[in-house]
């Protein structure tokens, strides 16, 4: 899967400054940025502040809150100077994303209290694209970023939003900035970084729609797999996640997770849900491991961690899994994770269940 992050941040910033430089001689202080209550000048400063804040979160490895700093402009800074600040802070975020290891996560409030380097890159790009649109709308000039950038923001930050006919209008609609035929107006919104669930030797890393699509098509999904991976079950689960995303029913916290070893950052398998819990709070869980990672307790460890996370939620009461009658190894995994056999299913499968205490 193609690396995503620093290059796209710089592309977004370049498009922003090229657009706004054509109107740098106008009054930005007395004009509101589109539907915002902020002036165009304040909005441009907000872009720069977000870019440097995201760079600071990653570089400082912040874990509990935003790093307590901000930027201020020198007295007398004109619009051209402000654009230079945006270029500079964008370059700092791009550089930070490039040198940050893939397993590093830093604090961000929405929705799971952290984001990785790709998440911070996507948030920076979203701020640039959307607020450049706001300013252009307020000043009265055209602006439209590349479809690739807009689609990347949607697949990285809006996995819960069904794709529309085109990415840019969909992103504007999803953030309350436009209309989309057949969809109600959006009045409140949040983006959604991927979830990670820690285990003793593993990190269960939530798979974004773009990565799931790559896995389904035979790619690596952006993960460094051990030899023989990913296994066929992970690719099938990725296809289920893509289908859910494309039909607008994807709940990212109830999707696919890739199991990544902490000791070396290598991916060894996949685990996840077949969908969101039903009205009775029941959710099905499945998993597979690359052959070279089997027999070492990884699947049991991951299943315990994911089950513990799920059953701590108010909307999950019961987890269940089905295992082939001949697959004694997998039967051992679910049993060690606390699941109880409840019935013999069809097609020589055994059904197992784990209830909230």
At residue 345, the pLDDT reads 56
pTM here is 0.95
Looking at the predicted structure, is the pLDDT value of residue 169 above 80? yes
What is the set of domains in the chain, with CATH numbers?
A: 6-174 (1.20.120.450), 196-355 (3.40.630.30)
Number of other residues whose CB lies within 10 A of the CB of residue 217: 13
Q: Which of 18-27, 119-128, 248-257, 337-346 has the lowest mean pLDDT?
A: 337-346
Q: Report the alpha-carbon distance of residue 150 to residue 161 in Å, rounded.
A: 13
Q: What percentage of the chain exceeds 70 in pLDDT? A: 99
Burial 178-197 (b: 16+ CB within 10 A, else e): bebeeeeebeeeebbbbbbb
The pLDDT tens digits for 80-113 are 999 999 999 999 999 999 999 999 999 999 899 9
pLDDT at 347: 66
Gap between the Cα atoms of 84 and 71, Å rounded: 13
Residue 2 has pLDDT above 80, yes or no: no
pLDDT-above-90 percentage for the chain:
96
Cβ–Cβ < 8 Å for 206, 271:
no
**pLDDT at position 220 over 80:** yes
The whole-number pLDDT of residue 346 equals 60
pLDDT in tens, 302-353: 999 999 999 999 999 999 999 999 999 999 999 999 999 998 656 688 999 9
Residue 348: what pLDDT?
82
Q: How far apart are CA 154 and CA 230, in angstroms?
A: 25
Are 291 and 228 contacting, i.e. CB atoms less than 8 angstroms apart?
yes
4 pLDDT more than 90:
no
> What integer best gives the mean pLDDT of the chain?
96
């Amino acid at each position: 899967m193609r690396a995503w992050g620093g290059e796209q941040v710089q592309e977004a910033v370049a498009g922003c400054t090229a657009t706004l430089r054509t109107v740098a001689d106008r009054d930005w202080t007395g004009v509101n940025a589109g539907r915002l209550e902020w002036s165009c000048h304040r909005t441009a400063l907000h872009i720069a502040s977000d870019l440097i804040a995201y760079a600071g979160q990653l570089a400082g490895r912040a874990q509990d809150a935003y790093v307590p700093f901000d930027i201020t402009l020198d007295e007398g800074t004109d619009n051209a100077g402000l654009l230079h600040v945006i270029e500079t802070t964008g370059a700092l975020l791009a550089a930070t994303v490039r040198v940050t290891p893939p397993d590093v996560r830093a604090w961000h409030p929405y929705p799971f209290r952290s984001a990785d380097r790709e998440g911070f890159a996507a948030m920076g790009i979203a701020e640039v694209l959307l607020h450049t649109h706001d300013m252009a709308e307020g000043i009265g000039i055209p602006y439209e970023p590349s479809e690739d950038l807009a689609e990347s923001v949607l697949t990285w930050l809006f996995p819960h939003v069904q794709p529309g006919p085109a990415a840019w209008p969909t992103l504007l609609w999803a953030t309350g900035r436009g209309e989309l035929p057949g969809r109600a107006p959006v009045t409140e919104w949040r983006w959604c970084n991927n979830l990670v669930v820690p285990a003793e030797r593993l990190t269960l890393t939530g798979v974004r729609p773009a990565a799931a699509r790559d896995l389904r098509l035979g790619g690596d999904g952006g993960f460094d797999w051990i030899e023989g991976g990913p296994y066929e079950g992970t690719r099938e689960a990725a296809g289920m996640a893509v289908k859910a995303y494309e039909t607008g029913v994807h709940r990212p916290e109830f999707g696919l997770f890739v199991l990544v070893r902490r000791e070396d950052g290598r991916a060894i398998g996949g685990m996840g849900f077949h969908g969101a819990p039903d009205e009775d709070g029941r959710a099905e869980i499945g998993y597979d491991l690359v052959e070279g990672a089997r027999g070492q307790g990884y699947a049991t460890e991951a299943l315990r961690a994911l089950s513990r996370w799920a059953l701590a939620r108010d909307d999950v009461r019961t987890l269940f899994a089905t295992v082939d009658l001949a697959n004694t190894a997998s039967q051992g995994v679910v049993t060690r994770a606390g699941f109880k056999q409840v019935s013999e299913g069809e097609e020589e499968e055994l059904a197992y269940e784990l209830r909230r205490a």
